[in-house]
Amino acid sequence: MTTRVLEARQAAHGYRVRVGDGALAALADLVAGHDQVALVSCRTVLGTPFGQRAEGAVRRASRSVLLHLLPDGERGKTLAHLEGAAGHLLRAGATRRSLVVALGGGAVTDAAGFLAAVFMRGVEWVAVPTTLLAMVDAALGGKTGVNLPLAKNAIGAFHPPVAVLADPASLRTLPQRETRSGFGELVKYAALRPALLPRVAAAARAGRADATLIAECARIKLEIVASDPQERGERKLLNLGHTFGHGVEAAGAFRRYAHGEAVAIGLAFAFRLARAMGRVDARSVAAVESALAGS
Ligand SMILES: NC(=O)c1ccc[n+]([C@@H]2O[C@H](COP(=O)([O-])OP(=O)(O)OC[C@H]3O[C@@H](n4cnc5c(N)ncnc54)[C@H](O)[C@@H]3O)[C@@H](O)[C@H]2O)c1
Ligand SMILES: [Zn+2]
């Protein structure tokens, strides 16, 4: 398998995004350069073959590894768990030079990235995304945060990682529904760059995305983020399908639809509305809907 390497730039900060089977070797190299490593994950991910390989790579590369497990998914993205994690790091002797390794889906990369943003006013972190959605979206762009009972992602910080290391082999254990949810975001990128639509549609039908396609979608997000690091203008393009999507999520009480499923429905709404307003032609609507049908 090939490994694609992208250069991400956010204002003065640059970092590499690697997608492919070289991800864990790159993780070992990064870890070896730090006195201490805090590996933050959740039980589900750590228990997968990839999670075990990742933990092994970190432990072989560093003499001092602290493992911190968050509750799975959104349940781990809270201020209470942030406090718990920060206390664990302090007791284990973590310093400003420690490295946080976030191993998991978007919930873990958001929460562990935010921990890195605020622990001792900021330590370095590396994202090792293990869901399709995290590889093409959540782990990129430096937005980190936790939820409040009142609202998702209400507390957060812009704190880009020092690297994003994604190995598509980790996706083999991803539940089918999470894969489908990730494809909602892939179709979003293809709607922004229509040349990608046939490949995303074919991958959606096959139920798997390879390193090349993941890297191409990641590149689109990185380009948009680079042109608008603080989300003032162009970054809003990344919200394509999300206005309707949020309505769909809310209508399902945030339980019935996974985020990417709601985005997929939102994209269909957005394109039909754009058609009714004369902003896109019927072929574009058909192309997006055909890609969505496969996902
Ligand atoms: N920071 C950003 O820019 C940004 C962008 C988009 C989404 N997000 C956030 O990302 C989160 C959603 O991320 P997600 O869709 O990755 O969901 P998730 O992190 O909740 O993961 C979904 C489920 O898959 C499991 N899982 C993860 N990797 C696995 C693997 N390889 N094998 C088996 N199971 C695995 C997880 O344990 C979890 O149960 C939300 O909290 C959202 O707010 C952030
Ligand atoms: Zn989204």
What average pLDDT does range 139-150 have in this prediction?
95
**71-113: pLDDT as tens digits:** 999 999 999 999 999 999 999 999 999 999 999 999 999 999 9
**224-258: pLDDT as tens digits:** 988 887 778 888 899 999 999 999 999 998 889 99
Give the residue among 75, 72, 64, 136 at the shortest CA–CA distance from 101. 64
Q: What is the pLDDT of residue 199?
A: 95
DSSP secondary structure letter of residue 212: H
* Any atom of ligand 1 within 6 Å of the Cβ of 131: yes
**14-70: pLDDT as tens digits:** 999 999 999 999 999 999 999 899 999 999 999 999 999 999 999 999 999 999 999
> How much of the chain, in percent, has pLDDT values that exceed 90?
88
3-state helix, strand, coil in the chain (%, to 5): 55, 20, 25
β-pairing, 37-42 with 65-70? parallel
Q: What is the pLDDT of residue 1?
A: 64
- Edge-to-edge strand ranges of the sheet holding 13-19: 4-10, 13-19, 163-166, 124-129, 99-104, 37-42, 65-70
Residue with tokens 């602290």: 66
* Any atom of ligand 1 within 6 Å of the Cβ of 212: no
* Any atom of ligand 1 within 6 Å of the Cβ of 109: no
Q: Ligand 2 centroid to 145 CA: how many Å?
A: 15
**161-190: pLDDT as tens digits:** 999 999 999 999 999 999 999 999 999 999
Active site residues: 121, 143, 185, 221, 231, 235, 239, 242, 246, 259
Fold of 4-171: Rossmann fold (3.40.50)
Pocket probe for ligand 1: among 133, 152, 155, the residue whose CB has the most ligand atoms within 8 Å is 133
Could you tell me the pTM of the whole model? Answer: 0.96
Q: What is the pLDDT of residue 228?
A: 82
Q: Ligand 2 centroid to 208 CA: how many Å?
A: 19
Atom of ligand 1 nearest to the CA of 50: 31
* Any atom of ligand 1 within 6 Å of the Cβ of 45: yes
Q: State yes or no: pLDDT of 295 exceeds 80.
A: no
Q: Give the start-to-end residue ranges of the domains of the chain.
A: 4-171, 175-294
Lowest model confidence (mean pLDDT) among 77-86, 139-148, 285-294: 285-294
Atom of ligand 1 nearest to the CA of 77: 41
Fold of 175-294: Dehydroquinate synthase-like, alpha domain (1.20.1090)
* Any atom of ligand 1 within 6 Å of the Cβ of 104: yes
How far apart (Å, rounded) are the C-alpha atoms in residues 245 and 286?
19
- Mention every residue, 6+ apart, whose C-beta is less than 8 A from residue 278: none
Q: Ligand 2 centroid to 95 CA: how many Å?
A: 34
Identical fold for domains 4-171 and 175-294, yes or no, is no
